[in-house]
Structure 1
Amino acid sequence: MTRPTARVLAMLELLQAGGQRTVADLAEHLGVDERTVRRYAEHLTDLGIPVRSQRGRYGGYRLAPGYKLPPLMLTDDEAVAVVLGLRVAQRAGLATTDHAAAASALAKVSRVLPETLRRRLDHLLTTAQFTAPARAASPADADTLLDLTAAARARRTVAITYTAWDGRESQRDLDVYGVVFHAGRWYATGHDHARDDVRTFRVDRIASVRPGEGSFVVPAEFDARAQVEGGIAAAGWSHEVRVVLRTSPAEARERLPRSVGRLSDHPCGVLLETRAERLDGMARLLAGLGWDFEVLTPDALRDELVALADRLRTNATPTPPTW
């Protein structure tokens, strides 16, 4: 917005107090000249606020009788940011609890907007399309998420009730180093007292969060995002994979997210260490990178690469006519 929005809303607050305010009085309160006051009045009218003017020596502005200021006032830019933010949060799986929370928030924002702006935003929501598909989310409980982030901010230990992937429930004392959103899920990562190690927990599997005993200090070099992505890559898949990529470390890190695996320097390029449930998918990933590479382990990955090469060779060979 090119207009000083804060002063426009301040003028609205003055008019909301009731009665008519002269242009000179408004200019004095807002610290602007009278011409600017008139521009602010035009802006309020554009927003759908019923500002009434009276000309003459003692003329000024007032709100239409009976008009009450809505509990939320947004500029066009702010309203678009809020509405699109809620819609994108829904599609990305970022919203907590379920889609109903974001949907009800959208409805509440819409109800308090001026009619003209509400109609324009309805047009936006019904017309805009997205190329990325909506994610199937695993929504986290809002209170759980807020409690974890508060503990991380205050550096206070919490006690959590956690359900593992196999249904086993356990009680953990956790120092929350960070909270990360990744691929449609929220994760909390930090020092697990029972394991005396840094662990990562899915927030949607945390049933309760209670104040614990003690405080903590986050290690200076700790990177919560890297910890979560690395933990996902090192999950208990069937196959451990080690491959040397013939490329530079910078290019490897640009092309491969941390969730793919751990990258480290190697005399012949970059060492990729990861785990995989299916080696045929790992073979396709390596072939699609476009770099030369050497498989260190497992031997079965070499067999999958040979099978993939045979299929590609067969598909690339012209089929002779049958007539």
Structure 2
Amino acid sequence: MTTTARLLQLLGLLQAQAVWTGEELADRLGVTTRSVRRDIDRLRELGYPVQSSRGTGGGYQLGAGRALPPLLLDQDEAVAVAVCLRLAAGGTVAGVGEAALRTMAKLDQVMPAAIRAHVAAVQEATVTVDYQAATVDSDALLALARAVRERHQARFDYTARDGAASYRRVEPYRLIATGRRWYLMAFDLDRDDWRSFRLDRMTEVRASTFGFTPREAPDAEEYIRRSVRSGWDNEATVRLQCGLPEVEDYVGRWGTLTAVDDGHCDLQVGSQNLDMMAWWLLRLPHDFEVLDNEELVAAYQRLATRTAQLAGAPSH
């Protein structure tokens, strides 16, 4: 890697995280800590305000007052940005759709012709289909993202699923997007425990000036999965007449699969709406038996009656 390329990578690292130790930067760049110090000095000579501090929690950080160099993207990076912006244009963050379209237009003006052609091909071949999703406030999302990055406490008003309102003080750790909703995994200071929060149920979101030392945290993705499952009104286990590998691509993250034998596996699912759960299970390409939810069985009886009526109805 050339010195110039390494300096650009170093700038990107300093922008991506609030504070880096010399050892962390050396490991990411594949150089010695002495080389890191020399590169930091070069950045300072170019006018970038790289600050350093000693002691616990110390390290290097990029100060305010100087913009980063112009955006440089190779072909793969440009296509990745285009795909993400196209998804954002039909996404779940309020106000981001229009901003994403404006950003795509600006990138189109500055990219080389060859890369522009690849990006245009992706955009022309992609259609974004709207679906019902909980929209979150972009200012709240950015405030929480900064609080996570800078390790600052956050505060907000929260409305629970049952309508109960509360004021929360938290140490924010991760933001998780599930496709339909955004969640925050955080340590609740007043309840002295980990909690998950839906961003669309937050108001008056703000980051405080109080920092915190990171705690040992659970795996964010698994924690949110458990939290979402615990909030379901309806849960069921069905036994599928197929081996686990035959259906796991269909299930994905929407349920929990457990192998029974080579020809059977159990699927645990949940939903706020029992009929929606019944319809979703019917899309699986294998037969199954409901093991533990009589209300789901009754839902299938209703669906069977309706289907039989529709099948026997005269055509018009």
Q: Same fold (TM over 0.5)?
A: yes
1:306 partnered with 2:301: yes
Which residue number corresponds to residue 209 of structure 1?
206
CA–CA distance in 2 between the matches of 1:270 and 1:193?
A: 41
Which residue number corresponds to residue 238 of structure 2?
243
1:282 partnered with 2:282: no
Higher Rg of the two aligned structures: 1
Change (3 A) 1:240 1:195: farther
Which residue number corresponds to residue 100 of structure 2?
102
Deviations 1:2-61 (A, max 9, x none): xx9x89xx9xxxxxxxxxxxxxxxxxxxxxxxxxxxxxxxxxxxxxxxxxxxxxxxxxxx
CA–CA distance in 1 between the matches of 2:277 and 2:120?
A: 44
CA–CA distance in 2 between the matches of 1:229 and 1:137?
A: 17
Which residue number corresponds to residue 12 of structure 2?
none
Deviations 1:245-267 (A, max 9, x none): 44444445433133x34445668
CA–CA distance in 2 between the matches of 1:192 and 1:241?
A: 30
SS in 1 for 2:283: helix
TM-score, reference length from structure 1: 0.57
Change (3 A) 1:204 1:288: closer
CA–CA distance in 2 between the matches of 1:99 and 1:244?
A: 41
8 Å contact 1:187–1:200 — kept in the other structure?
Answer: yes
Change (3 A) 1:245 1:155: farther
8 Å contact 2:151–2:211 — kept in the other structure?
Answer: no
8 Å contact 1:86–1:106 — kept in the other structure?
Answer: yes
SS in 1 for 2:126: coil
CA–CA distance in 1 between the matches of 2:310 and 2:169?
A: 56
1:90 partnered with 2:89: yes
8 Å contact 2:152–2:207 — kept in the other structure?
Answer: no
Which residue number corresponds to residue 186 of structure 1?
182
1:297 partnered with 2:302: no
CA–CA distance in 1 between the matches of 2:282 and 2:108?
A: 49
Letter in 2 for 1:276: S
RMSD between superposed Cα atoms in Å: 4.4
SS in 2 for 1:275: strand
CA–CA distance in 2 between the matches of 1:143 and 1:307?
A: 45
For structure 1, the 5+ residue unaligned runs are: 11-69
Matches within 5 A, 1:1-323: 71-72=70-71, 78-91=77-90, 93=91, 97-113=95-111, 124=121, 128-131=124-127, 133-135=129-131, 138-153=134-149, 157-164=153-160, 168-206=164-202, 207-211=204-208, 212=210, 214-219=212-217, 222-237=218-233, 239-258=234-253, 260-264=254-258, 269-309=264-304
Which residue number corresponds to residue 38 of structure 1?
none
Deviates more, 1:266-275 or 1:228-237: 266-275
SS in 1 for 2:102: helix
Letter in 1 for 2:296: L
Q: CA deviation at 1:188?
A: 0.9
TM-score, reference length from structure 2: 0.58
8 Å contact 1:110–1:118 — kept in the other structure?
Answer: no
Letter in 1 for 2:199: V
Deviations 1:79-131 (A, max 9, x none): 4443443223213x1656432322332343344456x5798589658x71435
CA–CA distance in 2 between the matches of 1:204 and 1:310?
A: 38
8 Å contact 1:234–1:261 — kept in the other structure?
Answer: no
Size of the aligned set, in residue pairs, is: 248
For structure 2, the 5+ residue unaligned runs are: 9-68
Q: CA deviation at 1:208?
A: 1.4
Letter in 1 for 2:86: R
CA–CA distance in 2 between the matches of 1:208 and 1:307?
A: 44
Change (3 A) 1:85 1:280: closer
